[in-house]
């Protein structure tokens, strides 16, 4: 390898890696519903943190489901981070398996704020109706 190419690689190799990571994050945000706060794209503080997204399961308490169940907590955290169809399906399967229910309806809501009138409401991000027979 010639010296010029070696120097160029050393100078711009690591910054190029940073660009690739950012490009991958943009891809995940736009195709997999990844939240902008994560994935190395430096999108922190551009919107309300995904921690404040709400998982709503009619007829069930999410707090009770995650109490003393680390795996459930992990599944829900991942769902809030990336609320796409695949993760909703995995979460629904896991909840049905744990609670021995036949069907379940899971929704993800995100906070919506209007600084002009101060109104805080919730907007539906994604939802799934899941039946055990589809397992």
Partner 1 sequence: MIYWIGIKEKLNNHIELASQLLLLMLGIYISIMSEKYGIWKTPVLFLGLFCWFFFRHKTKHPIIWMVFSALLVFDLYLMYLRVANHHFVLTFMTLSVLCYRYHKRSDILLKNTQILLVIVILASVLQKLISNQFISGNFYYYMLNRGFLFDPFLGFFSEISEVTKSNTESLIALQATDPNIGESIVLKDVFPNLGVISQVFAMLTIAMEFIVAIAILWKPKSRWTHLLFIMMIIGILCTRLETGFMALLAISGLFLCNNIKLRLLYAIIAMFCVVLVVTKLGYH
* Interface with partner 1 (CB under 8 A): 7, 10-12, 14-15, 17-19, 21-22, 28, 34, 36-48, 54, 56, 58, 81-82, 107, 109, 111, 113-122, 124
Closest distance to partner 1 from the beta carbon of 112 (Å): 8
Closest distance to partner 1 from the beta carbon of 135 (Å): 26
85-99 and 70-81 helices, crossing angle to 10°: 160
- Residue 59 or 135: the one with the smaller Cβ distance to partner 1 is 59
- Residue 32 or 69: the one with the smaller Cβ distance to partner 1 is 32
Which residue, among 91, 55, 87, 59, has the nearest Cα to 72 in the 3D structure?
Answer: 91
The DSSP output letter for 47 is: S
Closest distance to partner 1 from the beta carbon of 116 (Å): 5
Is 34 exposed, middle or buried, given 0-12, 13-18 or 19+ CB atoms closer than 10 A?
Answer: buried
> How far is the CA of 69 from the CAs of 42, 62, 99, in angstroms?
31, 11, 12
- Residue 5 or 15: the one with the smaller Cβ distance to partner 1 is 15
- Residue 3 or 133: the one with the smaller Cβ distance to partner 1 is 3
């Amino acid at each position: 390898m010639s010296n010029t190419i070696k120097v160029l690689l050393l100078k711009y190799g690591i910054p190029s890696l940073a660009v690739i990571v950012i490009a991958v994050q943009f891809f995940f945000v736009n195709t997999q519903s990844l939240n902008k706060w994560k994935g190395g794209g430096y999108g922190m503080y551009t919107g309300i943190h995904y921690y404040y997204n709400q998982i709503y399961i009619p007829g069930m308490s999410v707090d009770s489901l995650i109490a003393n169940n680390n795996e459930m907590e992990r599944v829900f955290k991942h769902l809030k981070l990336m609320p796409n169809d695949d993760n909703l399906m995995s979460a629904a399967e896991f909840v049905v398996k744990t609670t021995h229910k036949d069907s379940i309806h899971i929704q993800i809501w995100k906070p919506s704020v209007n600084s002009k009138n101060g109104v805080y409401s919730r907007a539906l991000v994604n939802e799934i109706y899941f039946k055990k027979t589809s397992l």
